[in-house]
Amino acid sequence: MRTPTRRDRLRAQMSEDVRAVAREIITKDGVEALSLAEIARRVGVTPAALYRHFDDLTDIVRHTARDIVTELTRELRAAVDAEEQTDHAARMIAPSRVFRRWSLAHRQEFSLLFGTPTTAAGDAHGDLTSEWVRELAGVWGRVFMQFWAARPHPILADGELAPELRRQMAAYRAATGVDMPLGALVVMLSCWRSIYGQVALEVFDHFTPLVPGDQEPMFELLMQELMARMGLAADYRPPAPEA
């Protein structure tokens, strides 16, 4: 393996600095506030110098989003690994709680990854979606596969699924490697749809006018409902009180 040269290290540092500045702008003002000129100004280089490290602004967004996805999935995996291997309910609920807390603390980043495509993201948004779908499948998919192997439960047979849904589930399984029956994938993705919907309503403040205050009780009710759906109602435990 070639030893990195000083030039390699400088290039890597520049790339890291650019992504850090882009993240800072996204966090404060949203992805639409990004521009090559503003990033270059904050890094202390000319806009032209950025092209030595990135193709264009969209490429900067793409790489910055990968950093965000890596951060999020690292926290989700840590939450799963902190629970007992046989406590399937806890291993499903723990990353869900972390996802909610992370999303509420990183609303602009959530909007970039999971919200409506933006002009600044350009054609990178499709790449971002594909990447976080695979990364999140590596978290929840692993947990669901372990649960399914230990406690298979009634699901729809392949022939009971609508043809298009059957095709979609098969494509998802092939793309992510979450190797379960198609009906079990439907259950997993239905759970994710519910979790994402609940969190998105909170992040974008769509619940606030009707349900003011902390919506954690609503989220925990959803956790109980999802566990009951999979026969794990008795294993649900409320979150520990904050110290």
Predicted TM-score of the model (pTM)? 0.88
What are the pLDDT digits (tens) for 76-87?
A: 999 999 999 999
What are the pLDDT digits (tens) for 92-143?
A: 999 999 999 999 999 999 998 887 666 666 666 667 777 778 888 889 999 9
Q: What are the C-alpha distances in Å from 22 to residues 18, 59, 121, 130? A: 6, 11, 12, 21
Amino acid at 146: Q
Please answer whether residues 93 and 3 qualify as being in contact, where contact means their C-beta atoms are separated by less than 8 angstroms.
no
Residues 6+ apart with CB under 8 A from 148: 180, 181, 184
Fold observed for domain 65-235: Tetracycline Repressor; domain 2 (1.10.357)
Under DSSP, the state recorded for 211 is S
Query: Could you tell me the two tokens for 137?
Result: 């499948």
Please answer whether residues 204 and 196 qualify as being in contact, where contact means their C-beta atoms are separated by less than 8 angstroms.
no
